[in-house]
Every structure is written in C-alpha cells, then in structure tokens.
Chain A
C-alpha cells in the first residue's frame, strides 16, 4: 500500500484507513485565528495569554509557539540524556522513552490548568514533564532514590506528581484509563470544572477496560479527554496485526464520543484539537477522543535504536524522522523570523543546565533506607 500523505507530507497511518488530516488541521487552526487562548507555562508557574492563528504563520503568536517548542526540546534533551547515561547502569529500571512523541503531551498540557489531571502509561516521561511534573523527582525515581516521586517504589513507569496534576501512571496497558475516568467522575460529583486527560496508546483500545471506560464516560458525559497516541507498534507488533482496517476514531464514535484525528507530530494541530476538547469537557459537553499519529524513535523499552532487529524498517524510521515535531516547528519558527541561532543556543543552554543539575542531583541523592520497605502499606 502506498503511504498516504498527511499535512507536510508526514506518512499517514497506512493501516487505519483514515484520510489525510491536513485539511482538518488547517481548518482547525483557521477557526482559531484571533482566538484568545489560555496557555499555562508550568515551568514558570505563570499563566500567559497568547493569540493563536493559522498554521501558515500569519498572525501566529510567537510566544506561544516558542513555549511549545521549548517544552518539546526540553523533553527531548531529558530523554536523550537518559539514553546516554542509561548504560552507566545507575538507572536500574525499565525506561520507555518518548523521543519522537513530544508534540502530543506538550500541546495537550499547554491548554490544561494545574488542577486538571492527567493519567499515563508505561511511556509516561513526556506526559509527566509536559504537565509540569518535577524533573528531579522523575530522575530520582529512575535512579531508585529516596528523592524519586515514589521514593524508589515505582520506577519509571509509575511517575506521578499530584501538585502538577499528574495523577498517576500505570504500566499495565489500559489500567490507568478507568482511573482517569474516575477522577472526572469525582470532579463532577464535587462540582468542579477540572478535566482529566487519559493518555493511551493504540494497543490499549484493544483492552476491554478501554471500552468499559469510554462507555461510562459517555453515559455520564464526563470531562475526559482520551488522547490516543498511535505510534503503530505494540512493542514489536504492528497495528495491522492487532486491529482490523477501520478508522480508530470510529471505535470512539461507536461509544458516542466526539472524536478527532490529528497529525500527532504537528504540535499546533494537536493544540488546536485539545483546545476544542478542553472547551467541550469544561462546559459539560462530554468526553473527546483525540487520535494522534506519531512514531516512537527508539526501542520499545531501553535507550537504543532497534530498526535492525526486523519488526520495522530503517526506511520507515527515516521517513517518520523527517516529520520530527521539533524540527518541523523549528523550521517554521526560523522561516517566520521568530527564531535565530542565538535564541536557539540560549534555549538549549538553559535546558542543558537544568538537566545536568537534575541528573547530578539524582546521582548524588541517597537511596531509600531498607528499613522503610514495609512501611506505609496502609494509610
């Protein structure tokens, strides 16, 4: 089958049977011309307002785009640093890196409030960081240290940060989905207008619990946004071997849930869809399912590339790498004159300093005391 072409020529999901989403993105961003949007800069804890406009670069609020860009770069740098240092043997837990998939969580979190919650999966680093999860607590957890978000009890697949609105992450596929829906039920019962984002991968819609959760969210019109990152593979198994050829979005609409399909490597397109979804959720318009096409660059679990082991091709990887969400936005920022070499260096230097400091802190932090192992089983 000839790959379909998405906006900017990104390879579409051959399997899904869904058409190009470029028209959607253009339309969505067109709708947003001059729309005042709310964006949270978690890093500074400040609320900023910006003007979003078309993806053609006209009237775009550079500040918002630069913030999205910086957040993606920061996650990329952190993940690459993990990959680099992993062979040292100090991070002794499985790691599921988000490199290549940064756009979705950055875009989604950019339109969330601190009191909004997200729940995540085994591949939770980017979701956690984008929502403002504490970097030192994350790295401390990977190093198995007392300073980790779980004090070394969870490892990389259990990242959470209640203060930032990262409710929890669970490594069992589908396991966190109903928990996120339950948080939204709690918000409804408490009369709050907070929303809960449920991150899930393409394989989790094969789990019964997804359907149970989607059904319940729809019946009760809950403020849930299911954000499905379709990276084509469940470990090494392609989606074509796991699901029939039908639009994934149809699974959600079959549950009576509004659904949108976006290019998950186009941070602006995802943000535009997330804006609509959040608005719907906050105004009791019900849940939304966002299908975001993206691609995992590294191996399923671990720091390496694995294109040579036979489940995917180097050519496929190279094709997707062309649609690196960070590169795409950087090119656009440079094209529109809102980014120069010096700014790029300043951004990278600032991130590098933060990341270096966080790794040093994690490495230097104490391990949890063995005496605490049985403590805190019950509240």
Chain B
C-alpha cells in the first residue's frame, strides 16, 4: 500500500494533476487562471513551469466555446481537464456539457468517447454573494451521461480527480472552496477512488445521515456530539451523485429506520430529495419516522455575513434534525447542543471553520 502523508486538499489536487500530466501525454488542462500566479487556489501551482503552455492552456473568457473545444479535442483522442474557479461560471457552458459532453457517447452508439474532466469550485464566505457561491450539483447530476462527484477528504480529492481523468466519460467534480484548506492523509503516487458509490464514514444504528462535500464535516461534528449522549449515527458521504448507487444507504435505513439528508446547496430538488424518494420507494416499511432533508433555503445567497448567518445550516441544525427524527427528549440533547453552540460561537460565519482543518 502507498504510504500516506498529511496534506491539504489543495495540495492533493495539485499532486493529482501533476501525476495525471506525467502519466498520460494526452492529458492537458484548460481554464481561466490555470497558468496564472495564483494557480487556481494553489491546485495548479508550478505546473505550467513544468509542463509548458501547450499542456496548461490559459483560455479566453469563453466558457461554453472552450467546453466545446475540450469536447472536440477529446473526440480525437485528447483527455482535457477543464477548471472553473466558480461553479457559477460553468452555467455558461451548460449547452456544451448537456448537449455534447453528456450525449455524444450514447447517440453515437458508443463509437465516440468524451473523456473530459471539469473541476468546479463552489464558493462560500467572505461575501461571495449570489453568483459566486451556488452549489449547483443537482443541475449536473440531473443529466444522464455525465458523472458527478463531490469529494470531502484530501485523499479522495486526489483519488477522485485521478479517477475522473482516467474515466472515458465526462466527469464533473465539484470542489467546495473551504475544503481546499482541510488536511488529511493522502497516499503517495497514483491511485484512483472509484466513481461508483457513497462512502460509509462511520457506522451507527440509531439514524442514517447522508451528507455531501463540506456538509460531511458538519455532519461529523454533529455525530461526535451525538455519540457523547449515546446516539450512534451512521454517516455516509454521498461522494458520487451520478451514477447514484443507494443500496448501502437503503440497507442502512432498513437498520436504523431513520434518515436525514444534508445537501450543500438548496434543499428543494436537491440530492436529498432523490435519496428520500428512493429510500421511501425501497424501504418504506422500515421507516420509523418521516425522513428529513437539510439544505439551503429557497433564496439566493446573500453577501453580508449578517444575512449569511441565517442561510447556512451546520452541525447544530443537523443535531436538531436528529433530535426530531429520533424523537429525542430535549433534555437529553441540551448538553450536546450547548457544546456545538459554543464551538460555533466564536467562528465567523463567513470564514472557514478553523476546527475543520483536519486531519479527519
């Protein structure tokens, strides 16, 4: 087994990019800022010096056109990695992603392949506001033909990115900006994390929690607080939104009888809705309580930190959801709740939680 080091997710991404570029001459990177001094939040630092501008291609500010360019190059044997510093920018590329990237393999009866990786960074905090912080994963996950992943640990940032690049299909990887700072064990060298299923983060018999991306960390914190009062939550990191494999989650709910989903983006029409629907279809008889979905409220992200405080749910809201779904006595959770409140108390809502630097 590869030995692991502790490093940030940003460093893990950079390492994955370097390995991919070394392994396969057909890999190249395309994006606004991929060759600039900031290097996409440090995930591309030094790569243009090493691989040159033919492989680290600065692109004009033309997201849809350049997505089409990436697709065309993929059809003739290249393996492009496209990077957008905000997922919101990729809205301009929806036409190419949905019409050409997602459909060409199917429509051509498998004769064409589109080995395209698209990295999208989800912004949060410091007043990012309505158009720099949208978690748009359900939009991409809605479309057959795309694969959609959301890593939460540094080791999986690397493994999923390498798997995405190795994959012969278009893969959208959504990276929460705050997770770039999180540290964790990252194996050395080349390895892939399969793009196939959620990850069971911890076992538990009392309630099943399914979270994605940054919300996995919030759910972990809530689960730790619950453990102290004897509630064992089974936590899943959704990780792969398409193809969506929910067998393990259904099996878990059959055991716990209780389900909470925690989306990174808006609650309505998000992955949680799909998971709850699926579990209800397949394990209705096992449910001891109505499932509960956590996500962002139905309005755009406000910029001011005063407003954002009421916008983003966290571990406290997850704890409250568990209290409700499990029918816990308020008195039983009051201590755990006070502890989470105290932890949150000093943390500005618009900056990454310093407690979330890991390693986890």
A residues at B contact (CB < 8 Å): 117, 119, 149-151, 153-154, 158, 160, 162, 167-168, 170, 172, 175-187, 189-190, 196, 208-209, 211-213, 215-216, 219, 376-379
On whether the beta carbons of A151 and B75 are closer than 8 Å, the reply is no
Known A-B contacts A160-B108, A172-B95; A216 and B62 likewise in contact (beta carbons under 8 Å)? yes
Complex Cα distance, B71 from A183, in Å, reads 8
Residues of chain B contacted by A172 (CB below 8 angstroms): 95, 99
12 residue pairs A–B, Cβ–Cβ below 8 Å: A153-B107, A167-B75, A168-B75, A182-B71, A183-B75, A186-B73, A211-B65, A212-B60, A213-B68, A377-B105, A378-B145, A379-B168
Kindly name the residue among B71, B145, B168 whose own CB sees the greatest number of chain A CB atoms within 10 A.
B71
Q: Tell me whether B106 and A376 are in contact (CB under 8 A).
A: yes
Please measure, in the bound complex, the distance between the C-alpha atom of A286 and the C-alpha atom of B100, giving whole angstroms: 26
> What separation, in Å, do the CA atoms of A154 and B332 have in the docked complex?
60
Contact in complex: A215, B100 (CB < 8 Å): no
Please state if B74 and A182 are interface contacts (CB–CB under 8 Å). yes
Cβ–Cβ < 8 Å partners of A376 in chain B: 105-106, 109-110
Given contacts A179-B69, A182-B70, 18 further A-B contacts (CB under 8 A): A160-B108, A167-B76, A172-B95, A172-B99, A175-B95, A178-B66, A179-B71, A182-B74, A183-B72, A183-B73, A183-B76, A185-B72, A186-B72, A189-B26, A189-B54, A215-B65, A216-B65, A378-B105
A196 contact set on B, CB distance < 8 A: 72
Chain B, Cβ-Cβ closest to A158: B107
Are A213 and B95 touching (Cβ within 8 A)?
A: no
Interface size on B, residues (CB 8 A): 43
* Contact partners of B72 in chain A: CB under 8 A: 119, 167, 178-186, 196
- Residues of chain B lying within 8 A (CB to CB) of residue A213: 62, 65, 68-69
Assuming the contacts A178-B65, A186-B77, asked whether A379 and B110 have C-beta atoms less than 8 A apart, the reply is yes
**Given the interface contacts A154-B107, A162-B111, A168-B112, does A216 sit within 8 Å of B75 by beta carbon?**
no
User: Which positions in B face A, CB cutoff 8 Å?
Assistant: 26, 28, 54, 59-60, 62, 64-78, 95-96, 99-100, 104-113, 115, 144-145, 147, 167-169, 243
* Among A162, A186, A190, A213: residue with most chain B CB under 10 A: A186
Among A176, A182, A186, A377, the residue within 8 A (CB) of B106 is A377
> Which among A190, A215, A379 is the interface contact of B60 at CB below 8 angstroms?
A215
User: Assuming the A-B contacts A178-B67, A216-B66, are A189 and B100 also in contact, with contact meaning beta carbons closer than 8 angstroms in the complex?
Assistant: no
Q: How far is the CB of B245 from chain A (nearest CB, A)?
A: 13
Q: Which 10 A-B pairs have the closest CB atoms?
A: A182-B72, A178-B68, A212-B65, A212-B62, A379-B168, A182-B69, A179-B72, A186-B76, A186-B73, A151-B109
Which A residue's beta carbon lies closest to that of B61?
A212
**Nearest CB in chain A to that of B168: its residue:** A379
**Cβ distance A155 to chain B, nearest Cβ, rounded Å:** 9
Residue of B nearest to A220 (CB): B57
Which residues of the partner chain A approach B62 to less than 8 Å between Cβ atoms?
A: 211-213, 215-216
Question: In the complex, how many residue pairs between chain A and chain B have their CB atoms under 8 Å apart?
Answer: 143
Return A142 CB to nearest CB of chain B, in Å.
15
A379 to B243, CA, bound (A): 13
CA A179 to CA B72, docked complex, whole Å: 4
Tell me how far the C-beta of B196 lies from the nearest C-beta in chain A, rounded to whole angstroms: 11
Q: How far is the CA of A196 from the CA of B26 in the complex (A)?
A: 19
B contact residues around A176 at 8 Å (CB): 68
Asked if residues A178 and B54 are in contact (CB atoms below 8 Å), the reply is no
**CB pair A185 B73 closer than 8 Å:** yes
Determine the distance from Cα of A136 to Cα of B321 in the docked complex, in whole angstroms: 61
A181 engages B144 (CB within 8 Å):
no
Least CB distance from B159 to A in Å reads: 19
Pairwise interchain contact A182-B107, C-beta atoms closer than 8 A: no
Residues of A within 8 A of B26 (CB): 189
- Bound Cα distance from A208 to B64, whole angstroms: 9
Which residues of chain B have C-beta atoms less than 8 A from A168's C-beta? 75, 100, 104, 108, 112
> Is B108 within 8 A of A190, CB to CB?
no
A379 touches B105 (CB 8 A): yes
Q: Within 8 Å CB of A177, what residues of B?
A: 65, 68
Min Cβ gap A185→B in Å is 5
A181/B68 in contact, CB under 8 A? yes
Tell me the smallest distance from the CB of B200 to a CB of chain A, in Å.
24
Task: Give the distance in Å from the alpha carbon of A83 to the alpha carbon of B72 in the complex.
Answer: 32
Does A378 lie within 8 Å of B65, measured CB to CB? no
CA distance in complex: A208, B68 (Å): 12
For A184, the chain B residues whose CB sits under 8 A away are: 72
B258 CB to closest chain A CB, in angstroms? 33
Which of A151, A179, A211 is close to B68, meaning CB atoms less than 8 Å apart?
A: A179
